[in-house]
C-alpha cells in the first residue's frame, strides 16, 4: 500500500534552501532590494518552502491568475482553486525591473524569508478575483477585504525560500512538513488517511467526525491552522493541548496524528475546501473530512456548498477525495452523537454543537454540558480563559 502522489503527479517540491546553499543565498539576499510581504503571503511562502504547494515554484503569472479565477486551471493545465499571488504598491513595483531579484521580508520583524526573481508585473481586477473565488464582492467578507487592501500590482516569479518564519520554533513538533507527515504515515503503515481541518479545539461533534473517518481509514490527521486568527479564536498551542488531551483519553492509540500548517484562513468556502484537499494530498492524505460550511464565514455560502463543489471537479483533478459528512449533533433520544443521515428525530431532541458557541460559553464563564465537550478538554480551555482574563 502506498500514499497518494503529491499534487501534479511528481515528487514533493520543497523550495526551502538548507546547508551551504542557505548560507550563500542569505548572503546574496542581503545585497538585494527588499519587499515586505503580508501575513497571508508569508504563509504562502512557507507552504512553498516546505512543499505544501507542490508543484508551484513561486508566485503566479497573470495568465495563471486568470485561469485559476475563471476555471481553476493554471496555464499548464494544472488544477488549482485559489490564486497564489504576491502584491506590491505601484511605487514599489515601479522600482523593480523585470528579470531582477528581490528579497521578501517578514511582515512582523523584517527578517528575510525568501528571494525572488521577478519575471512579470501585472495589475488585476480585484473585484473579479473576489467574485470568482469568494462568490461575493462584499467588503465585509474578510477574504474580500484582504484582496481589496493588497497592492495594486502583482509580481510573478520563482522563489528560493530561506526561512520557515519562526513556526517550528514557536510550535515545536506540532509544525510538520509534508515530508515529515508522509514519513510518519509510512512508519505507521497507513495508506488511507483522512485529514480533519480545524482552527478550533475539538468538541463532541468534531470527535464524532474524526471517529467516523477512522471507521473507514487507517487513521486521521488532525491538521490545525497555525496562521493568523480572527479575534476571539483560541491560540494554536492551547488548541493542540486540548486536542492532545482528547486524543489520549478518547481515541484508540495510533489512529490519530496531530499536526499544524502555516496558513491564514481565506474564508473562501468551497474553493478553500478544494485548496485544503490539494495541499493535504501533498501531506499524504487520501481523504479530507468535509463537514458543514467548510472554511465558510457568515452566511456567504450554503451549508453544503463545499460538498457540492467536489462533484463538479474534472476527473483526475485531485487524488484526495472528500469524506462528506452531514451536520453532527447530540441527540437526546438517540442517546449520543448523530447526524442528519442517521438520526430520525426533530430539532427539539437535538443539541447543536459549534465552536462559536463553545468559545462564547467559555469566555462568558457559562456552564458547558458534557454533551457539548469532554470534561478533560473543558479543563484545558478553562485554564486558558482564566489565565487570559487575569492579565
Return the half-sphere exposure (C-beta side, CA atoms, 13 A cut-off) of residue 376. 10
Q: How far is it, in rounded angstroms, from Cα 68 to Cα 83?
A: 6
Task: Collect all residues with Cβ–Cβ distance below 8 Å to 149 and sequence separation of at least 6.
Answer: none
Query: Which of 40, 66, 199, 292 does the annotation list as catalytic?
Result: 199
Q: State the number of CA atoms in the 13 A half-sphere of 210 facing the CB.
A: 26
- Long-range Cβ contacts of 181-186 (<8 Å, 24+ apart): 181/221, 181/257, 181/259, 181/283, 181/284, 182/3, 182/12, 182/283, 182/284, 184/257, 185/3, 185/219, 185/257, 185/284, 186/3
3-class secondary-structure state, position 222: strand
The owner of cell 515528487 is 11
312 flagged as catalytic: no
For residues 155 and 37, is the Cβ–Cβ distance under 8 A?
no
- 213 within 8 A of 323, measured Cβ to Cβ: yes
- On whether the CB atoms of residues 103 and 13 are closer than 8 A, the answer is no
Q: Residue 221 in contact with residue 191, Cβ under 8 Å?
A: no
CA-to-CA distance for 67 and 83, rounded, in angstroms? 9
**228 tagged catalytic:** no
Q: Cα–Cα distance between 300 and 308 in angstroms, integer?
A: 15
Torsions phi, psi for 145 (to 5 deg):
-60, -45
Residues 40, 66, 182, 200: which is the catalytic one? 200
Cα gap 386→384, rounded to integer Å:
5
CA distance 305 to 271: 9
115 alpha-carbon distance from chain centroid: 24
Q: Which of 198, 183, 268 is nearest to 240 (CA)?
A: 198
Q: Give, as one character, the DSSP assignment of residue 231.
A: T
Q: Is 51 within 8 Å of 179 (Cβ atoms)?
A: yes
Please give the Cα distance from 205 to 210 (Å, whole number). 9
By annotation, the residues acting in catalysis are: 199-200
Amino acid at each position: 500500500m502506498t500514499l497518494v502522489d503529491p499534487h501534479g503527479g511528481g515528487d514533493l517540491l520543497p523550495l526551502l534552501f538548507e546547508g551551504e546553499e542557505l548560507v550563500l543565498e542569505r548572503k546574496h539576499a542581503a545585497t538585494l532590494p527588499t519587499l515586505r510581504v503580508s501575513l497571508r503571503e508569508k504563509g504562502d511562502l512557507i507552504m512553498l518552502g516546505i512543499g505544501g504547494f507542490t508543484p508551484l515554484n513561486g508566485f503566479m503569472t497573470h495568465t495563471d491568475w486568470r485561469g485559476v479565477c475563471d476555471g481553476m486551471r493554471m496555464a499548464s493545465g494544472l488544477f488549482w482553486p485559489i490564486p497564489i499571488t504576491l502584491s506590491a504598491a505601484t511605487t514599489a513595483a515601479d522600482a523593480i525591473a523585470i528579470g531582477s531579484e528581490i528579497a521578501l521580508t517578514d511582515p512582523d520583524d523584517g527578517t528575510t524569508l525568501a528571494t525572488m526573481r521577478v519575471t512579470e508585473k501585472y495589475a488585476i481586477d480585484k473585484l473579479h478575483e473576489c467574485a470568482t473565488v469568494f462568490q461575493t464582492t462584499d467588503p465585509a467578507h474578510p477574504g474580500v477585504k484582504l484582496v481589496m487592501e493588497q497592492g495594486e500590482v502583482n509580481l510573478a516569479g520563482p522563489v528560493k525560500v530561506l526561512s520557515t518564519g519562526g513556526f517550528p520554533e514557536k510550535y515545536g513538533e506540532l509544525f510538520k512538513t509534508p515530508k515529515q507527515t508522509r514519513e510518519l504515515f509510512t512508519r505507521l503503515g497507513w495508506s488511507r488517511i483522512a485529514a480533519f481541518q480545524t482552527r478550533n479545539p475539538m468538541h463532541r461533534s468534531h470527535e464524532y467526525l474524526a471517529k467516523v473517518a477512522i471507521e473507514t481509514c487507517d487513521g486521521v490527521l488532525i491538521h490545525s491552522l497555525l496562521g493568523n486568527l480572527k479575534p476571539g479564536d483560541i491560540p494554536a498551542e492551547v488548541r493542540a493541548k486540548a486536542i492532545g488531551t482528547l486524543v489520549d483519553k478518547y481515541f484508540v492509540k495510533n489512529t490519530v496524528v496531530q499536526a499544524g500548517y502555516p496558513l491564514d484562513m481565506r474564508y473562501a468556502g468551497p474553493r478553500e475546501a478544494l485548496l485544503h484537499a490539494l495541499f493535504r494530498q501533498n501531506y499524504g492524505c487520501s481523504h479530507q473530512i468535509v463537514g458543514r460550511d467548510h472554511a465558510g464565514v457568515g452566511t456567504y455560502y450554503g451549508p453544503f456548498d463545499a460538498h457540492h463543489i467536489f462533484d463538479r471537479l474534472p476527473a483526475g483533478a485531485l487524488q484526495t477525495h472528500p469524506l462528506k459528512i452531514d451536520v453532527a449533533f447530540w441527540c437526546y433520544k438517540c442517546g449520543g452523537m448523530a447526524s442528519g443521515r442517521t438520526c430520525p428525530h426533530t430539532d427539539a431532541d437535538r443539541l447543536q454543537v459549534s465552536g462559536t458557541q463553545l468559545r462564547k460559553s467559555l469566555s462568558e464563564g457559562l456552564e458547558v454540558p458534557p454533551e457539548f465537550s469532554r470534561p478533560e478538554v473543558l479543563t484545558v480551555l478553562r485554564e486558558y480563559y482564566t489565565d487570559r482574563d487575569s492579565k
